[in-house]
Amino acid sequence: MALGAFLASVVVGRSDFSLRAASDALPMQDAFAVLFFVSVGMLFDPIVLVQSKLLLVTTLFIVMIVTPLSCLMIMLTLGQPIRLSLRVATSLTQIGEFSFIIATLARQLDMLPAEAMNVLVTVSIISISCSPMFQTLVHPIQIRLRRYPRWSALETARVPFSMRPAIVDIPITDSLDALHRTVIVGFGPVGKTLAKLLTRNSIAATIIEMNHSSIQGIRDAGYGAVLGDANHPDTLKKAGIESSLSLILSASTVQSPEQIIKIARELNPMLKVIVRSSYLRDRPDLMRMGADTVFSGEGEVAMALAEYLLKDLGATPEQIDRERDRLRLEIFG
């Protein structure tokens, strides 16, 4: 207990200055947000709801329906997956402070009547209030679309102006046994490190990546590359999941990990699934979803900090091993 208290005091005493500065700035961020909404609320004139109903409804329709639908169609036409297209489209269902800057300039130049300015304020209040609701609809819409096979092609990246999947063929090394192959989702710092480690140990690494610009770099590094969404069975099949030893979700921001795990298990029941998460609170849910092992960023950082502090305090290797085992049991169970 004494050692734990001392370690806690050392961690607090050595807190990074930038983290402290960011924490101190949070109240100012909230204050500015409140100031923005208060100022917009003071500009709101309720009479516009009666006198300018047609203009108000038309503007709302353009901002909250026409703009996001146009964006959605453009994104899908360019071959972007439906999930990304929906997120971009729903983020454009509002107008914010930049609109007021333009409108104010237009008023100063007598290019915008006072009535239009009042309508703009009202539309801003309504659209900003409704935008979070639209964001929450992305995942349910994606789940519902999966019930219709004809829409399944939209879940992966496609060749622009066509329905053909934009999947890059992967070079499979024939000299390696099929079981000595691992599929990695994401090619960030963690994915790159794991791919190097696997390759050094004669295990073929196949990377699933949704970023077009990353594919060529992955192939130049000598890894198999599949451009697509890991939530789609065809992408996992193309990556060779049916004959792979394991699946690693290396990105903490992977969307719908439960869907990926479910599909991967159906294609390969003997597959070992390793998942990376940002928070410890996500670990129980991921384990219930079918993950074999979950590595939490919070837990691993706590372990690394504890080991560093113990070394800094002059602890012996035996003490460090004992404390590490105890902490791992407390953190991960």
Distance separating alpha carbons of residues 185 and 208, to the nearest angstrom: 5
Do residue 185 and residue 270 come from a single domain? yes
- Which pLDDT score is estimated for 166? 62
Distance separating alpha carbons of residues 238 and 233, to the nearest angstrom: 9
**C-alpha atoms less than 13 angstroms from C-alpha of 147 in its C-beta half-sphere:** 4
Do residue 108 and residue 147 come from a single domain? yes
Any domain includes 112? yes
- Which pLDDT score is estimated for 178? 45
- Which pLDDT score is estimated for 183? 94
Do residue 187 and residue 235 come from a single domain? yes
pTM for the whole thing?
A: 0.59
Do residue 142 and residue 43 come from a single domain? yes
Collapsed DSSP state (helix, strand, coil) of residue 75: helix
Distance separating alpha carbons of residues 26 and 118, to the nearest angstrom: 31
Each of the 333 residues of the chain gets a pLDDT tens digit; together they read: 444 444 334 434 443 444 455 556 666 766 666 666 666 666 677 777 778 889 889 999 999 999 999 999 999 998 888 888 898 999 899 887 777 778 888 888 888 887 888 888 888 888 888 888 888 888 888 778 777 777 777 777 777 887 776 654 444 444 444 447 899 998 988 999 999 998 888 888 999 988 777 888 888 888 888 887 788 888 888 888 998 989 999 987 777 788 899 999 999 999 999 999 888 888 888 898 889 999 888 888 888 888 888 888 888 888 888 888 888 888 776
Any domain includes 50? yes
Distance separating alpha carbons of residues 230 and 232, to the nearest angstrom: 5
Return the structure tokens found at 229: 């969404």
- Which pLDDT score is estimated for 21? 57
The answer for residues whose C-beta is within 8 angstroms of residue 157's C-beta and 6 or more apart is 79, 80, 81, 165, 166, 167, 210, 212, 227, 228, 229
CATH number assigned to the domain comprising residue 237: 3.40.50.720
Distance separating alpha carbons of residues 319 and 6, to the nearest angstrom: 16
User: Any idea which residue has 């599909």 for tokens?
Assistant: 263
Distance separating alpha carbons of residues 155 and 266, to the nearest angstrom: 18
**Is 279 within 8 Å of 296 (Cβ atoms)?**
yes
Any domain includes 165? no
Any domain includes 310? no
Any domain includes 250? yes
Do residue 138 and residue 62 come from a single domain? yes
- Which pLDDT score is estimated for 65? 93
Do residue 144 and residue 37 come from a single domain? yes
- Which pLDDT score is estimated for 68? 93
Query: Which region holds residue 35: left if phi is over 0, alpha if psi is between -120 and 50, else beta?
Result: alpha
Q: Which of 243, 208, 206, 240 is nearest to 223 (CA)?
A: 206
DSSP designation for 187: -
Do residue 285 and residue 189 come from a single domain? yes
Paired sense of beta strands 272-277 and 204-209, if any? unpaired
Environment class of 42 (CB within 10 Å of its CB; exposed 0-12, middle 13-18, buried 19+): exposed
- Which pLDDT score is estimated for 2? 43
User: Any idea which residue has 């729903």 for tokens?
Assistant: 90
Total structural domains within the chain: 2
Do residue 113 and residue 211 come from a single domain? no
Distance separating alpha carbons of residues 163 and 21, to the nearest angstrom: 49
Residue-wise pLDDT for 72-81, tens only, equals 999 999 888 8
**Domain containing 252: what range?**
181-291
